[in-house]
Amino acid sequence: MSLLAPALLDELRAAVGDAGVSTDPADRDAVAHDLWPRALIRERGGERLPGPDAVVWPSTRGQVAAVCAACHRAEIPFTPFGAGTGVCGAAIPVRGGVVLDLKRLDRILDWDLETGWVRVEPGLLGSRLEDACRERGRTTGHHPSSLALSTVGGFVATRSAGQLSTRYGRIDDLVAGLEAVLPDGTEVSLRPEPAAGAGPDLRRLFLGSEGGFGVIVEVTLRLHPLPERRVDHAAVFGGFAEGIAAVRELLQAGLRPSLLRLYDLADTALQAAELGVGEGSGALLLASCEGRAAVAEAEAAELAAICAAHGASARDPAAVEAWYTRRDDIGFAQARYLPLAGAVLDTVELAAPWSRLAALHEAVRRRIGGRLIVLCHLSHGYPDGACLYFSFAGVAEEEAGAVPLHELLWEEVMAAAAETGASIAHHHGAGLARAPYMAAELGAGGVEVLRRLKAALDPGGVANPGKWGL
């Protein structure tokens, strides 16, 4: 039974057709949450998330605009939904209303191979896009572990980063242009450009917008030629600090390996067993250099030399190939263990400049170690810093303790970020998980800018309300 006024439901049906609107409980349940562990733990404990009152499946941008305009006029919230693989609760329709499921907007619209652009609709799955790119000898280079299950619109709306972002950039770097529908139905076209300089870059406004500024209805992404050659390198450092020093040096020297993962000692012990490399002590580095054959080989040789200068001993590069064969599996371990009573699992990605990276690692381990298993790897490197990706696992003594343990985990990790001046997120977005910490991240002035932008673009407060702590 929908709580929406019959007149609004009629308007939605007129916009997208009868088959494009559902108030069926099964359809509403399917889009009631994403993969935020807190929500999954609550559901495991018997709590039901309220979900939306209706789901609509637009198949054109005009239909998206009509749905947004109708919700705006009726003052009913709407939440865009890609594939629901977000891990921060951003897609949870906390105030009910309408979920705009974008899966029918999944076309590849146009290739400009001379320039290196592809224009797509937002509901396109990442793996379908990548397959089509490969048929044309191209890649976006964007490969999150959730590639097969998440959408281009979701990538842009959460500021996703793929496994090879050190070379190809994160989604922020790949978006050449985009089109969006504002919360009142106004259409905006921010055409693709290789570069532009007239005023603020409005494309950036929609990066990380998590549905709060409306719906992204089209994206033009940059393409790269498929690499001619990939050269892998595996090495073990005496400690995490030595590995960090080597990674910093190679990035500041201008090297841009595609794969660049440095595991801390606890994570190395696990990875070494999984990948069949070494005895599991020290800090394991897995790296690939790719592109034109001669350039990839020269870059890999330079990378190996820098690692050796920091005391690393080289390992069989077959370990890197072993990593690629299971590159998307590890993220799905959560689905196996989270259903167990009392289980608490999550991942949190933080970012810090090199001068504070070791302190961040130490602070998170100090605050969480002893309560939960803490694993960490460095990935997504930049000349001035990197992402530290933490994985946490543990079991509360009883099911009732699982949510408090998960809350404690986030409080402590966010406190570690505040203590060391790190960014509270690298690529999973903000959503509900980081809403309480946005003021610490942006400062009072930054929150005020966000509040005013939200009020200007969404005066009725209907676009994915209740997020970012606003």
CB of 124 to ligand FAD, least distance (A): 10
What is the tally of helices (H) and strands (E) in the chain?
17, 18
Exactly one of 57, 78, 155, 240 binds ligand FAD (CB under 6 A); that residue is: 155
CB of 393 to ligand FAD, least distance (A): 15
183: three-class secondary structure by DSSP? coil
CB of 132 to ligand FAD, least distance (A): 17
Exactly one of 235, 464, 466, 468 binds ligand FAD (CB under 6 A); that residue is: 464
Render the burial of 150-186: b for 16+ CB within 10 Å, e for the rest.
bbbbbbbbbbbbbbbbbbbbbbbebbbbbbbbbbbbe
CB of 101 to ligand FAD, least distance (A): 9
143: three-class secondary structure by DSSP? coil
How many C-beta atoms lie closer than 10 Å to residue 303's C-beta?
25
Backbone angles phi, psi at 107, to 5 degrees: -90, 150
158 binds ligand FAD (CB under 6 A): yes
296 binds ligand FAD (CB under 6 A): no
- Find out whether 237 and 281 touch, Cβ atoms under 8 Å: no
Sign of the Cα pseudo-torsion (394, 396, 400, 405, in order): negative
Distances (CA, A) of 47 to 91, 187, 253: 18, 38, 52
Exactly one of 82, 183, 243, 394 binds ligand FAD (CB under 6 A); that residue is: 82
Q: Which is nearer to ligand FAD, 235 or 375 (CB)?
A: 375
CB of 208 to ligand FAD, least distance (A): 9
Q: Which is nearer to ligand FAD, 159 or 361 (CB)?
A: 159
77 binds ligand FAD (CB under 6 A): no
Residue 381 is inside which H or E element, if any?
A: strand 373-382
Query: Helix axis angle, 402-420 relative to 438-457, nearest 10°?
Result: 100
120 binds ligand FAD (CB under 6 A): no
Q: Which is nearer to ligand FAD, 138 or 170 (CB)?
A: 170
CB of 390 to ligand FAD, least distance (A): 14
The binding track of 210-229 with respect to ligand FAD, each residue x by CB under 6 A or -, is: xx---xx-------------
Angle at 145 between CA 139 and CA 147, to 5 degrees: 50
| Closest residue to ligand FAD, based on beta-carbon distance | 154
Q: Which is nearer to ligand FAD, 77 or 82 (CB)?
A: 82
- State the residues that interact with ligand FAD by CB under 6 A: 34-35, 79-87, 90-91, 102, 122, 144-146, 150-151, 153-155, 157-158, 160-161, 210-211, 215-216, 331-332, 427-429, 464
